[in-house]
Structure 1
């Protein structure tokens, strides 16, 4: 049925539409056949994607559609006007064919985005996933450039920035020791208020984010040592550039800072002077 039903419906539709259009434009047999051939593929593509019967069946159905249109165009070629003015030319036919190709491609893209490939099509066409992982071909609905959401987030950020300015806190952050991969290095955060007094009793956390691989991202909380100082030895798992977010919270007050740090592969060798 995967072959008989689509092929039968397509052949009947091509024949019926061909003779209806041929009756309207009797001299345009070949252009009509070409247009119907392209439109039949455009109509079959979404069905084949969502109900994938196998590449062999799809190839057979496509071949049947193309051959049906080809035979009709071969039997009923475009006739000369015979002194009369033809009502159908290759100029408008080429435009219709071009738009039909656009419809074909758009129908494929929209179907893939909304429904994805069937399980059999995904197995036949998509690369094999890693063991234990699942690959889907449809669009999950996440919009990366949701401008209304971006505006909302920006307004929240702007309000939080105003609150930070009003707090007047001074934050000093950074490594006490040079960060080296797989070696603990001390990271320290010092917080004072607008009067220069130490901010004690706050909750301080760090988010380390790896731009090249988000799987390496991690977060840590810094314990307080007193006098507004918070520090902890941290072992970085990969060398290179990292993004760092510092979060400081005390009661209803929130303070955030971001920055970058560079982790070395191995300790730097100090240059030795020679006599």
Structure 2
């Protein structure tokens, strides 16, 4: 058996599973549907099992396909790690790095950081996806997630790359019309703009203040799954928001938003999150260290 084609076919198989079909994986890889179908057929012939259930719209794993996928991911990671270890990985990072983060943080912070990073490591291929929903890192084939907020999955490794907190803000126009809340309980009677975000309980704000952690149930006529939209609605005077300080600091400094209930905040540190199997990956380690250093230069320190 020629192990080189087998390894590439395993990579292709993982891509097909992640993309959910032959057509989507062919588009990502820049090859024809026929080639993808042919290589999967060869892989099934090699293992003498059916790996995928095929329909006209998508594919799904068979039981044997799931077993092959788990082993394939481990084999690919080991080969990539071996390649890194036998080269000067810090200087000459190679291969692919798939990164995800939320839309706001990706557009306003991470995209610029990656632009600088690839200048130092031009042989590394980076795919960045902006996703405002919970992400299955392993199932969706990401190497790491730059996540704002709590990390609750014990199966993942989380390294803090910056301190951050969410603060309560509203536009001067809103406060002039509706008044300024003076207690946390007042928020329940105000028009709050909620965000349906990865780690957030919709409509429930948990905030640390003089009496420890307190909860308040909020509501309002507007909500969105994108933080940038929520931010703009607040500037437009439609309600009160709870947003990360990195996101609203400029708006507060310019007077477009006003921080209210300043004794209260919600911890929302920035974390680099990745599967345990990638704990010794040089490209992941170097990227995470760079992001922490880059964010510190932007004013987000890591204590």
TM-score bracket for the superposition, by shorter chain length: under 0.3
Q: TM-score, normalised by structure 2?
A: 0.24
Q: TM-score, normalised by structure 1?
A: 0.26
